[in-house]
Chains A and B, each alone.
Chain A
C-alpha cells in the first residue's frame, strides 16, 4: 500500500499544478489550447494520488508489486512526454507558418520596391545602388 504521506504530497503537488495552470489561463499567459494537456495531467495525478485503492489496483494490473507510487511517476512521465510531443507539433506548425510569412514579406517587398521605383531612396544596410524600377 502507498504510504499516506506520499499520497498527501502527490495530491498537494497536483493541486498546485492545477492552480498554477488555471492562474496562467486567467492572466492570459497561457492559451487554453496549450493548457488542456497540463490540466488533464494535473487531474490524472490528483486522482491517482488521492484514490489510494485505485493506485494499488492499477499497480497490481501492471505487475508493480513492491512500490505502487511508481505508477504515479510513470503516469507523470507519460503525460510530460505527451505534452512535449504536442509542443513539437506546435513548433513544426509555427516553423512552417514562419517560413510562409517570411516568403510572403519578401515577395511583397519586392513588388513594393518595383512599384516605388527609383523615386524613394532605399533604406538598406548597405546603401549601394539598388535595382531601379
Chain B
C-alpha cells in the first residue's frame, strides 16, 4: 500500500506576520505534508510570505470569507487527489505538533473527520474568555442534542478528514462562521466524527475576529443556521461524486 498523500489547508487573511511560521512548522513536523495556503484576498504580503516558506498559494481574487476560503482548500485537495486533508488556521493558534493526534484516528480508519477539541478531558492549555466559553458550550450542547452524538467543541477549526470528508466539504461548506454548521453537516451525512483533545495557543499576532458584540451576533446567526441545517435534507455523498 502506498503512503497516503496529506495536504494541510491553511486559510489566511492578512496574516503576513504569522503565516510563514505556520507553514514551516508543518514542514518541520513532516516534510511529506503538502501545505496549501488559501490567501483570502489579503492586502498585505501574506501570499508571498507563505510562498517563501514553501507553501503552494491559492490566491482568491477578492475576500470571500473564511468558509469559502477553507472550501477552496478542500476543492484543491479533491482536485489533486489527496487522501487526507487537515485544516489549520493561518494565525498560528493551531499547533502543528498536535497534527499526529488528529491523523491517528484516520490512520486506523476509526473516523472520517477528526476535530481537535479544546474541551476534551485532560487538556486545559488555552482558556478562551468567558463569553466565548459560554458560546462554545452552548453550541456543543445544542449540536450534541440535535445529533445524538456527544461533541465538546464545535467551534474548533482544527480538523483532519479522509477522502469522504474532503468530498463533503469540497461540495458543501458553510460560509460566515462555518465550524459549527460544518460539524452538523458531518453528522447529518453520517460521517464518523471523532474528537481528540488538543492544546491551542493564544494568537501571537493581531486579534481574534470574534469580539463580544460579534459573538452575540454569531450566536444568533449560527443557532438559526443550525436549525436550518437540521431541517434540510442531505443526500449521503457517494464515492467520487462531486460537483
A interface with B by C-beta (< 8 Å): 99, 102-103, 105-107, 109-110, 114, 126, 128-131
Contact = CB atoms under 8 A, between A and B. Distances in A.
B56 A110 contact: yes
A107 B60 CA distance: 8
* B contacts with A: majority SS: mixed
B203 interface: no
B169 to A, nearest CB: 12
A114 B76 CA distance: 13
Interface of B: 38, 45, 48, 51-52, 55-62, 64, 68, 71-72, 75-76, 79, 175
23 contacts: A99-B68, A99-B175, A102-B61, A102-B62, A103-B64, A103-B68, A103-B71, A105-B61, A106-B58, A106-B61, A106-B72, A107-B58, A107-B72, A107-B79, A109-B58, A109-B59, A110-B57, A114-B56, A128-B45, A130-B48, A131-B55, A131-B56, A131-B57
Contact of A128 (B48, B68, B175): B48
B52 A129 contact: yes
Given A126-B48, A130-B48, A103 B72 contact: yes
A69 B190 CA distance: 56
Contacts of B55: 131
